[in-house]
Structure 1
Amino acid sequence: MNYKIFIFLLAIAACNSKNEMSEETKKVDEVIPVKDPHSFAIPSESVIKHLSWNATVDFEKKSIAGVATFDLKNSDEASKIVLDTKDLNISKVTDAAGNELAFNLGEKVDHLGSPLEIKITPETTKVAIHYSTSPGAEALQWLDPVQTADKKEPFLFTQSQAILARSWVPVQDSPGIRFTYDAEVTVPKGLMALMSAENPTETNDTGVYTFKMDQAIPAYLLALAVGDLEFKRIGARSGVYAEPSVVEKAAYEFGELEQMISAAEELYGPYQWEEYDIIVLPPSFPFGGMENPRLTFATPTILAGDRSLTSLVAHELAHSWSGNLVTNATWNDFWLNEGFTVYFEQRIMEKLYGRAYSEMLASLSAQDLKTEVEEMIADGLESDTRLKLELEGRNPDDGVTSIAYDKGYLFLRSIEEEVGRERFDAFLKMYFNDNAFKGMTTEGFLDRLEKDLYKKNNLTFNREKAEEWIYQPGLPSTAPTPKSDKFAMVDAEWEKLKGGATPLDLNTSEWSSHEWLHFVRSIPEDYTAEDMKMLDTAFKFTDTGNSEVLTAWLIKSISKNYTPAYDRLENFLINTGRRKFLMPLYEEMIKTEKGTAMAKEIYAKARPNYHFVSTNSIDALLENK
C-alpha cells in the first residue's frame, strides 16, 4: 500500500475512534510530523519508532560508548534515514542481520550538529549505530565527587532539551517525532543508573541496569542519571531519588506529591505514565526542573525546608499532560508546552492551597513577565515577545523566556475568564485526551479552540483577538492582571516603613516566602547600603535558605553596593547552576565597571561547576565586557 494512503486511512480511523486511547495509540503515533527547522530528519521518508540502547558509562574518559538500534517505519520510496548527531564518533552502522550499511556524516551546522545519513531500502526494518560521545558532549554533565552533595562519588546527568539529545544518542531529535525505548546501561559498580523509564529503587551488585519505556516520547525527553543515589517512597506511585545526605530532606519537601497528582487528575484526566518520581540533582543542574517522563529532574534550590517552593513540582507534574502528553510540534510552538503548564500549575496550587495563594504566584510571575518584556524590547528583541516564535537558524534555547511561560499563561487565563472556567476545563480535558501522544502546532491549537470550545458552546470566536496574543509582540492591553490581597498587605507594611516605622514594627509573622519575595522586590530605588543593612539586621536576608528570596536580595545588594552580602553572592554563584538565578545576578553585576570585574572573577571560579546550558548563556553575556 502507498505510504501516504496508509497514513491517510490511519488518520480517518483515528477520527472515528473512541476518545479513550488504546495501548497501541500510546505506543505509536502514526501522524507524520511537520518539518522541523531544528532537525535534519525527513520523517516522511523514514522515521524511528523504537530505540534499543546498549551503553557503557565511562567516568574516566567522560564518554558513553553505545549502540543505538532503531526500528524504522519507511515509505515505499525510502532510500535513506537521516538522524541528528552532534560531536558523536560513529564507528559503523549495521542492519537487522548485522550487515554493514553505508553512511555519511554531513558537515556541522551551528546549533544543529551534523546529519547522519544512512542508506536503506523500504524493506530495512532496523539500523544499529555504533558510536561514542565526545568528552565535551553538551547534554552530558560529568561531575567529580567534590561537585556533588556528599563529595564521595562522581555523578552524571543529561539535559536533552531542547536539541541536545543528539550529543549523546544519534536520533531524530525533533519534538514532533516520538518513539518507545528500552535500554541496558553499564555503570561503575556501587552507582545507580536511572532513566526516563521504569527504574530500579536499589543499587545492584553488577552495575548493569535495564530500562523500558512503553509510552512513546520525543528525543528531548530521553534522560539518564548515574550516581550514588537512594530512593525513598512517598506514595503508592511516587517517590524521590537523591544522594544519601539529601534524600530525607527531599522526601519531606515533596511530602504532598500524591495530593498534587490527585489534584491534577481531578482537573484534566488520568495520569498516563504510571509512576511519578523526582530525582534531586547536584547544584549544577541548569534548570529548576526538567519534566523527563516518570523521573522529573529537580534542582536542590527548591529544598527550602518549608515546602514553599514546591510550585515547581506542580509545574513539572503538569508537564505530564502538557508537553509530555501533548507536545509542541516544533520549538517555534514552545509556548504550547509551557503556557499550558503554567496555567495547569496555577490550578493545581489553587486546588491545594486556595485562590489567595495561587494569585500570589501569578502576581510574581506577572512582575517577571513585565520586566522581561521591557528588557527584550529595549534589547531589540521585540519579535521574541510573540508567542509563536521564528527560531530557524537560531538556538531554540533563545525561546526559553517568560514569554512562553507567563504570556502563554495569561492568554489561556484570558480565555478562561471569557468563556467561564467550567467550559474551559471541559475543553482542556478533551484537548489532552484527544491529542495524547501527539504533536501540536499553534495553528492546530487555534483550530481546536474554535471548534471544540467556541463553536461547541455556541460562542463567537474572536480569532483576531487570539492572533494578537500569538503573533503580535508585547502584551495586549486586555491582558489579565493577577491581583493578590496578600501583596497589598505587604505594600501596606512598606508604607509604614516609609512613614518612619522600624523593621521590627512590621507585622510579618504570618508571611510566606512569597510575601517576603514581594517585600524584597519592593525595596525602593533610593535605598542606600545603610538602609539595606537595617533590613538585613532585622530579617537576615543574606542568610536565607530560600533561593528565590536570596536571589532577589542579592540583586538589590549589587545595585545598592551592599558589600556585606558579597561573600554570600560569590558562594551562591559558585555552588548554584540554575540559570534562572545566575543570569539576573550576572546581568546586574555587569551594569558597572566594578561589578563587571567582580562578575568575571567569580565566573572564573564558578564556570567549571555549570552545565553547558548555563555557560552558553553567560559566555555570551560576558563576551564583550
Structure 2
Amino acid sequence: MLIIGCLTMFAFSFSDVHTFGNVDQVRTSHLSLDLTLDFERKIMKGSCVVKLAYQSKQGAPHVDLDTRLLTIESVTDPADGSALKYELHKDARDYMGAKLRIFLKNPKTPAVKVTYVTDPSAGALQWLDPAQTTSKKKPFLLTQSQAILARTWIPCMDSPGIRVTYDAVVRVPKGITAVMSAAHGKHEPENGVYRFDMKHPIPPYLIALAAGEIAFKAISDRCGVYAEPAVVEKAAWEFADMEKMVVAAEKLYGKYRWDRWDAIVLPPSFPFGGMENPMLTFATPTLLAGDRSLVNVMAHELAHSWSGNLVTNATWSDFWLNEGFTTYFERRIVEALYGKDTAEMQWLLGQRDLQHEIVEMAGIDQEFAKLYQDLSKHDPDAAFSSVPYDKGANFLLVLEQHFGRAKFDTFLKTYFDQHAFQTMTTDKFLDFMRKNLFGDDQAAWEKLQIDAWINDPGIPKNIVIPKSQNFEKTRAAAKAFAAKGDTGVVKKDSWNTEEWLDFLNSLPEKVDHDRLKTLDAFAGLTNAGNAEILFAWQMVCIRNTYEPAFASLQDFLLRQGRRKFLKPLYQAMMANPKTEAMAKEVYKKARAGYHPISTATIDAIVK
C-alpha cells in the first residue's frame, strides 16, 4: 500500500491500448471508495480517493483516468478539499469511454478525489428487481468488471497491468447485505454500512461487489458460501469440496495467499460460470446440478488465485497467461481429487470446443485464433473464446509432456513465487521460460514449435491428445444408437457428466426424430437438472428441429443468462430457418433479464 507523499519507482514498463492512463508518468496505487447504492434509480453515488505513485523524480503535470458513463460532480485534493481542474475527453470507440484528465496542483500531488454518479446503463452493474431474485423480496446488485468495465463504476486506470490495493465503505438500504472481493471490516448492518479492505495489490477488474438478500454458510475455517437464503444450503452442499480443492492446489504450486476463499452463488443472470474475484468467487447457479458434477468450474476459479490474481496478464493481448495457465491448473486439481480418467475426459472435451471455435474463426478474424493477440482495434471482450483457455492449456500440456511433470511443476511453482503480485507479458514469460525451463536447448524450443503456439492461428500438430477408454465407449454408443436407436447402449445410470457430453456431442448432425423421442423418453434429457447436459441436448434438438424439446429450451433461455450457453444456442437457432423466429421471440422476452455482457454478444447474433 502506498504511503501518501511517497515516490514509487517501477522497473516494469508496459503499453496497454485499452487504458487512457498515462502509466509512463504516474500510476494509481490505492483506491478508497465510499459508495451509496440507490436501487430505485439504479445508480451508485459516491467518491473515490485515488492515491498516486510517480514513475520519475519529475512527477507528472496531470493524471489520466478511465471512465465510462460516469457523471463527474467534482474533483478535489483530499488533503485540503480544494478543487482541481479536470477535462473529460470522450473516445470515438464507445467501449473505451472517456478520458478523465486531472491537472495536479504540483507534480507530486499524493492523491486526488473524484466524486461521481454511475449511469443506470453502466456495463459492469446489473441491478435486479425483486422479481428477478429467488425470494422475490429484495433487489440485488452484482458487478462484473472484466475486461474493461471497472471504469463504468470506478474512475481508475482500468488496465490489468495496474495493480492497486483498495478499501471501501458501501452504504445500502435496510435489509440489504453487501459483500466484496476483500476482507471484511467493521460492518454496521443495522445502519446499512459495510466496510472492506484489500491489502494485496490487484488489477481493477477484480474489484467486485454484490448486494442483496444474502446468507452465509461455512464449509471450513477458510472457505464458505454466500447465496440468497433459499439457495445457500444447496450451494454449500454442492461446493462441499472447496477446502479439499485448496489443499490439493497448495500441494501443487504453493501456499494459498489470499487468507480466505469464499464463493457467492449469484442470481441466474450472472453471465459467466464463475469469476475469480479474490477472496470471493462469483458463481452461476447453473453449477448447482444436485450431484456435485460441475464443480470443475470452482477448481478453475480457485486456480486463478495463482494464475491471474497472483500473476496477472499485463494487457488483454496476454490474456492466455491468465486463462491458459488456469485451465491447465484446474485439470491438475480435478485429477488430484477426482481421478485421471475425469481429467483426461475434460481435456478431450476442451480440445473439441477449441477445434470447433478455430473452424468458426476461420471466417471471422484469425487474430482471435492466436495465443498472443493484437487487440488494438478491438474491445477485448470481443476476443473471448476457448482459445486463451484451451489452446493456452494445451500449450502447457505439451511442455509438461516434454520435460516431465516433476520438472514442469517445479518451473511453475518458481514462476508463481518469483512473480507473485506482479504483472506479466507474453514476451517476459517466454524469456523466463527460456532461461528457467529450456536453458540452452534451442533444438527443443524449435521441436516444440513454441513460436507457432504463441503467434500462429490454429492448433499446432504436436498437441497432446489423451486417450480415454470412457470416450471410446461413449462414441461407440453414439454411433450404435444413431444407427439402430437401441437405448441399451446408453448407460444412463452410470455415465458421468463428461460421458454424457461426449455421447451427445458424438451424435451425427442429423438424427431421426423417432430416435430422439426414444432417447428422451429413456433418459429424460429434456428435463435434465444438469445444465451442461441439458445444453448439449438442446443443441442436438435445435439442429434437428425436435419440437418436443423447445418448451424446455425456451424456459432455459429465460431463466439463466450464462453466456457460455446463450451464445451457441442463439447461434444455432438463428442458423436454422425453422427456429429463427423462435430465437427472436424468446430473446425479446429474455433480454431484459440478461447481463449487459451477455446482451452485447447476443445482440449481434439475433439481429
User: Does the 8 A contact of 1:41 with 1:83 survive in 2?
Assistant: yes
Q: Following TM superposition, by how much is the alpha carbon of 1:409 offset from its aligned partner in structure 2, in angstroms?
A: 0.5
Aligned to 2:52: 72
Among 290, 301, 308, the residue aligned to 2:275: 290
Match of 1:383 among 361, 367, 380: 367
Map of 1:246-257 to 2, 5 A cutoff? 246-257=231-242
Counterpart of 2:24 in structure 1 is: 44
State the distance in 2 between where 1:139 and 1:147 align.
Answer: 18
Report percent identity of matched pairs.
48
Change (3 A) 1:443 1:224: same
CA distance in 2, matches of 1:506, 1:517: 12
Structure 1 residues 89-110: Cα deviation after superposition (integer angstroms, max 9, x where no partner): 0011111211110000112331
Unaligned stretches of 5+ residues in structure 1:
1-5, 11-29
- Determine the C-alpha separation between the residues in 2 that align with 1:575 and 1:236: 34
Counterpart of 2:470, as a letter, is K
Q: Does 1:54 align with 2:34?
A: yes
Between the aligned partners of 1:593 and 1:496, the Cα distance in structure 2 is 29
Cα distance between partner residues in 2 of 1:370 and 1:481: 12
- TM-score of the two chains, using structure 2 as the length reference: 0.96
2:91 aligned with 1:118: no
Count of equivalent residues: 596
- Give 1:595-614 correspondences, 5 Å limit: 595-614=579-598
Which one of the candidate residues 161, 184, 201 is aligned to 2:169? 184
Q: Partner amino acid for 1:210?
A: R
The 2-side partners of 1:585 and 1:458 are apart by 45
Matches within 5 A, 1:239-388: 239-377=224-362, 379-388=363-372
* Alpha-carbon distance in 1 for matches of 2:186, 2:449: 50
Do the aligned partners of residues 460 and 376 (structure 1) sit closer, same or farther apart at CA in structure 2, a change above 3 Å counting?
closer
Q: CA deviation at 1:183?
A: 0.7
Report the AA paired with residue 449 of structure 2.
K
User: Structure 2 matches for 1:160-559, cutoff 5 A?
Assistant: 160-199=145-184, 204-377=189-362, 379-455=363-439, 460-462=444-446, 465-498=449-482, 500=484, 502-504=486-488, 506-559=490-543
Query: How far apart are the structure 2 equivalents of 1:527 and 1:348?
Result: 37
CA distance in 1, matches of 2:202, 2:260: 15
CA offset digits 1:351-379 (Å, max 9, x no partner): 111111100111111111111111111x2
Distance 1:309 1:607 in 2: 26
Structure-2 separation of matches of 1:201 and 1:575: 36
Residue identity opposite 1:146 in structure 2: A
1:94 alignment partner in structure 2: 76
Length-normalised TM-score, structure 1: 0.93
Shift of 1:43: 1.5
Tell me, what secondary structure is at the counterpart of 1:263? helix
Structure 1 residue 33: Cα displacement: 4.1
State the Cα distance separating 1:531 from its structure 2 match.
1.4
**1:465 Cα offset (Å):** 1.5
Q: Which amino acid aligns with 1:327?
A: T
Q: Deviations over 1:158-195 (max 9, x none)?
A: 00000000000100000000111111110011110011
Aligned to 2:3: none
- Shift of residue 549 of structure 1? 0.7
Q: Which amino acid aligns with 2:74?
A: K
Distance 1:34 1:338, change over 3 A: same
Amino acid at match of 1:57: L
Q: 2:318 and 2:299 mapped to 1: Cα distance?
A: 22
Pick closer, same or farther for the CA change 1:168–1:33 going to 2, 3 Å.
farther
Structure 1 residues 499 and 593: CA distance shift in structure 2, 3 A: closer
Alignment check: 8 A CA contact 2:509 2:543 kept = no
CA distance in 1, matches of 2:168, 2:384: 30
- Inter-partner Cα distance in structure 2 for 1:195 and 1:505: 48
Deviates more, 1:129-138 or 1:519-528: 519-528
Secondary structure of the structure 1 residue equivalent to 2:347: helix
More displaced 10-residue stretch of structure 1: 577-586 or 587-596: 587-596
Contact (CA 8 Å) 2:140, 2:210: kept in 1 or not?
yes
Partner SS, residue 588 of structure 2? helix
RMSD: 1.7
Q: Which letter does structure 2 place at the counterpart of 1:59?
A: F
For the pair 1:82 / 2:64, whether they are aligned, the reply is: yes
SS in structure 2 at match of 1:262: helix
Q: Match of 2:190, SS?
A: coil
Mark the CA change 1:300 to 1:200 in structure 2 (over 3 Å): closer, same or farther: farther
Quick check: 1:193–1:226 contact (8 Å CA) kept in 2?
A: yes
Inter-partner Cα distance in structure 1 for 2:92 and 2:447 = 38
Contact kept? 2:31, 2:165, Cα under 8 Å: yes
- The residue identity in structure 1 corresponding to 2:183 is E
Deviates more, 1:84-93 or 1:528-537: 528-537
Counterpart amino acid of 2:422? K
Aligned to 2:4: none
The answer on whether the counterparts of 1:291 and 1:297 sit within 8 Å (CA) in structure 2 is yes
Residues in 2 aligned to 1:581 and 1:331: alpha-carbon distance in whole angstroms: 23
Q: 1:591 aligns with which of 563, 575, 583?
A: 575
Runs of 4+ in 1 over 4 A off after TM superposition: 200-203, 456-460
- In 1, Cα distance between equivalents of 2:320 and 2:597: 19
Distance 1:326 1:456, change over 3 A: farther
C-alpha distance in structure 1 between counterparts of 2:316 and 2:483, whole Å = 50
| Whole-Å separation in 2 of the counterparts to 1:82 and 1:586 | 40
- Paired with 2:337 and 2:549, the residues of 1 have a C-alpha distance of 36
Deviation at residue 393 of structure 1 after TM alignment: 2.3
In 2, are the aligned partners of 1:91 and 1:131 still within 8 Å (CA)? yes
Q: SS of the residue aligned with 1:337?
A: helix
Shift of 1:455: 1.2
Distance (Å, rounded) in 1 between the aligned partners of 2:491 and 2:75: 69
Answer yes or no: is 1:132 the counterpart of 2:139. Answer: no
CA offsets per residue over residues 114-172 of structure 1, 9 Å max, x none?
A: 00000112231110000000111110000001111221110000000000000001000
SS of structure 1 residue aligned to 2:112? strand
Whether the aligned pair in 2 keeps the contact of 1:153 and 1:227 (CA below 8 Å) is yes
> Is 1:103 aligned with 2:83?
no
Q: Secondary structure at the match of 1:97?
A: coil
2:553 paired with 1:569: yes
What whole-Å deviation, never above 9, does each CA across 1:50-84 have from its counterpart, x for those lacking one? 11111100001100001100111123141000000
In 2, Cα distance between the equivalents of 1:327 and 1:596?
41
